[in-house]
Structure formats: C-alpha cells, structure tokens
Chain A
Amino acid sequence: MAEILLSVQHVKQFFSINASFTVEAVNDVSFQIRCGEVFGLAGESGSGKSTLARTIMHMYEPTAGAVYYKEWQISAQPIYHAHKKDIQRNMQMIFQDSAAALNPRMTVRELIEEPLRIWRWCSTCPAYRQRVVELLQLVGLETSFLSQYPDELSGGQRQRVSIARSLALEPSLIIADEPVASLDVSIQAQIINLFQELQREKQFAFLFIAHDLSLLRFISDRIGVMYRGHMVELA
C-alpha cells in the first residue's frame, strides 16, 4: 500500500452567521488519501464538499480536527508556515467555476505561467514559454490560445487551462472541486478522459468532488459521500 499523502481527521468547519445561528458546513469528517490514489467525494448541494476542500487547501482554519499532509499537520498555522513552500507547490486546486477561477485580465499564457513564475521554475523567458506550450499540449489545446483571454474561451477550454495551470508545478495532490459540473456532456467526457490519462501518467493523488455518483464511480478508486456536513458512506 502506498504511503498516506493526505489525512483528514475529525475536521469540523462551522460558520457563525450570527449569534444564534451557526452553519455546520463540515462536521467531523475523516478520511485519507494515498499517493497516486483517486478519491471521489460526492454529496448533494450544500453538503459541505467545497468547504472541506477549502479547509484542506488552508483557505479556512478548521473549527476542530486536523489536516495532515504527509506527516505535517498543515491545519496548524505555524506548521503550515514552516512548510508553506512545499505545500503550496504540491497541492493544487481546480475550481468548479473555471470562469471565476481564471483572472479575466490575464491571457492564457500569463495564467499558466503564473505558478511557474512564482516558483522560478525556469531561468529564461523562452524556457517559460516552452513549458507553457508543453502544458497546453498536455491538456489538448493548441498554441494559438496562448494570447487569448478567458472570456474568449469556451467552458471546456477554460477548464483545460485551469487543469494545465494546476499541473504546471507537477503537484503530488490535486483537489478538483466539481470540475465538470457546469460542462455539457460531450465536453465533460473529454475532460474526464483527460483527467484519467493525466492521472495515470503523472501519478498524482486526486481528490475529485462531484455530485454525480455515476461519474464518480467511473473515475475514482474510493468514494466518500457527504450529507449535511457528515461523511456518511465510504466505499
């Protein structure tokens, strides 16, 4: 059995709307993801899937419980900061709404280049371009898209750009939050196929969130189902 990459232990995430009302978005959820494994997370709308993903990504501080990446408890502020670089490089997220997750004022090239630039991946400008072209080819887009803005792309193309960006740093864990929910069937099929190929090729661990069980069954090694903040089924 491969080593455990991500471990979520009794995570709770509550939002207090006002004094009398608290949303228990995630309530005592535990699961683990091994290296190279695809973990599917299903659940109806509002069951806390996105919140869980964001908590893992350290966008929210968990109300209780802990998230471990490798052996580090990344839900704790100091530990997260100590290993910030490693985590930021190795965990990437793909959002549900690709239009919202891509800055509308940046070209495809800039978008994909951004993580590379932040991490000084290459030393020369042409090298960056080279890498971007590589990534575009990987997700099946032509180089002619390089100078286009997200508005000018279709939903499927945008989602591919998101994927290319998340792959740029060759992460070990990708969290995809409903990456195909807003796409139509034929494009959805393309993207899922793409995910599968890439996952086989690069062997990254994959937390795949969707509300369509048939889709999850198709793609994942293990599936968790969430209901009102709880993890109710783990198969």
Chain B
Amino acid sequence: MAENEDFVIVGAAYKKQVRPVSESSVWRRLWKRPLFSLLVLGILLLGCIMAESIMNHHPSDFYLANLNEPPNTEFYFGTDSLGRDIFSIIWYGGRVSLFIGFSGMAILTCIGVFYGCLSGMAPAFLDNMMMRTAEMLSSIPNLLLILLILSIAGKPTPISIAAVIGGTSWMSLARIVRSEVRQIRASEYILVAKSMGASFPRILYYHLLPNFLSAIMFVVVSSISSCIMLESTLSFLGLGLPVEVVSWGSMLSLSNKALLTNSWWVILIPGVFIVVTLLCITNIGHYLRGAVNRRSSNL
C-alpha cells in the first residue's frame, strides 16, 4: 500500500527538494579572512592614534643621560645616540607616517582613478592628449618634481607633504586605470547604463570602479609604502618635515647612521615596524582583491 502511494503522480513542484547542507563552509570563509593582519594593523593603528597615552617619554626630547641604551625597562625599545626614546617615536612617528602614507595614497588614488576614468571614457583625441600629459609629468623623475613643488609650496607640513607626494605620483595609476577602463568601457553593461541615461559619476562609481578595483589594488596598497618611503627620502635629503615632527622616515635615516655602531635596536625596530605594517596592509588589500570571485586557472 505504502509503495503504491509512492507511485501516485503528484506533478511538478509538489514540494521543495532540499538536501541538508553542512555548515562547515562558514568557518572556512572566516578563516580565509586576514584576521591576523587585521589584528596587528588594528593594534598598530590604535597605538599610533593613542600615542600620547602609550608613550612613556616625549618623542622629540633628548635624554642626554641615556645615550644609545639598548632596550630596557625604562626605554622599551632603547634610545638612539642622542638619547631619544625609540618606543615613543615609533608610536608618535607612526601617526605621522601612516597619515602621510594613507592620505598620500588617498590623494593619488582619487586623482589617478578620476583622471584614468575620464581619459578612458574620453574620445580618442582627448584620451591621447590626457595620456601624453600624464606621460610628460611622469617623465620628470618623481623626487625631482616633489622637490620643486615642495620648495614652491613653502614650509612642509605632514599635510603638504602628503598632498605633494600624492599629487605627483598618480600617473602610473592613471595609466593602469585608463587601460582597464578602455577594456571595460566597451562592455555591454556600460552601454546599457549609458543608454539608460546614467551620469558619468554614477558610471564611474557603480560600474567602472568596482570592476577595476581588483586590478589596481596592489598599486594602491603599495603606494602607501612608496609615500612613506618618499617621505623618508625627503627627510634624508633634509627637505622633509620640521625636526620636531618625527616620523618613521626620520627614524629610518637614524638607522642608517646606526649601522656601524652595532645598536641593533635602532636599526631593526623601525624597519620591522614599517615592514610589518605594510605587510598587513598588503594582506588586507590582497584579501579585498581576492574576495572577488575569480575563475580558477586553466593550467
């Protein structure tokens, strides 16, 4: 009887067919997130933001009684040859450096993306002109251009340095964006959006940006590092920030000096902080990029 019941025709959509789904995948997805990087970066950022309450010494003071001391309980990361407390400088300087890094990145990304999109969407003639202009600007060695503009801009502040660095380093990003946009702009969804009457900012924001974001992610993230490095090069050249504003960049030039004096703490600690920070940022950027589903390789 029961058997026959099974063979009663009930037709389509009689009930939903489901199979129990194991929940393990949620864990796996969470695991793939760069939790560790986020944590480390979070701690670093928090430390820099709350530098005042963490520091146990004044970052730009010279503790002349404690020259060149290795890390100890009073000076957690030791002191340099002028008696400055490296621990405090790290946090305080991190604030300046990260500010310059991030805002430089923001500026160059904004300019680069906007310029690149505009050029990519423009008719051939305008596009050509815009690209040649960018090429012209980028043919002047970056440092040289920064130097010239900084000297016109007057006394450097973190903001002006970030602005100048950002304002002079967007060209290669613009070029990448442009070539991406050139590829995307012929795609049909852009045509659709256009034929529906979408404005340029709308197309840029909803259609172009999300689609080339992954392509420029690495360039954007690594521009944070190049902004920090450029600032340190400027410090090295003596054109950087006023002395009372310490940054990781000025710390790096300190470590150059200390190379022969076996003060490993002066050499290593700032470098480690910079590299770790950048690595974390890269990891997170990489995740953001990878989060967009990519087909698997055909190889």
Do A and B come into direct contact in the complex, CB within 8 Å? yes
Using CB atoms and an 8 Å cutoff, list the residues of chain A in contact with chain B. 54, 57-59, 84-85, 88-89, 91-93, 95, 97, 100-106, 110, 114-115, 118-119, 151, 165, 169
Residues of B within 8 A of A57 (CB): 191, 195
Q: Which of B189, B197, B199, B293 contacts A103 (CB 8 A)?
A: B189
Question: 23 pairs across A/B with beta carbons < 8 Å?
Answer: A54-B191, A58-B195, A59-B195, A85-B197, A88-B197, A93-B195, A95-B192, A97-B188, A101-B188, A101-B191, A101-B192, A102-B189, A103-B207, A103-B210, A104-B211, A105-B292, A114-B198, A114-B206, A118-B202, A119-B197, A151-B293, A165-B192, A169-B196
Closest 6 CB pairs of A and B: A105-B210, A88-B197, A101-B188, A103-B189, A100-B188, A95-B188
Residues of B within 8 A of A105 (CB): 210-211, 292
B residues contacting A by CB (< 8 A) are 187-189, 191-199, 202, 206-207, 210-211, 292-293
Q: Which of A84, A89, A104, A169 has the most CB of B within 10 A?
A: A104
Q: A84 to chain B: which residues have CB within 8 Å? A: 197
Question: Once the chains bind, are A91 and B189 in contact (CB under 8 Å)?
Answer: no
- The majority secondary structure among interface residues of chain B is helix
**CB-nearest residue of chain B relative to A95?**
B188
Q: Known pairs A92-B195, A106-B206, A118-B202. 7 more at Cβ < 8 A?
A: A59-B191, A84-B197, A97-B188, A103-B189, A110-B206, A114-B196, A119-B197
A119–B197 Cα distance when bound, in Å, is 8
User: Inside 8 A of B195's CB, which chain A residues have their CB?
Assistant: 57-59, 88, 91-93
B189 CB contacts on chain A under 8 angstroms: 100-103
Closest to B293 in A: A151
Q: Among the listed A59, A104, A118, A151, which residue makes an inter-chain contact with B197, where contact means beta carbons less than 8 Å apart? A: A118
How many whole Å from A91's CB to the nearest CB in chain B? 7
How far does the Cβ of B213 sit from chain A's closest Cβ, in whole Å? Answer: 8
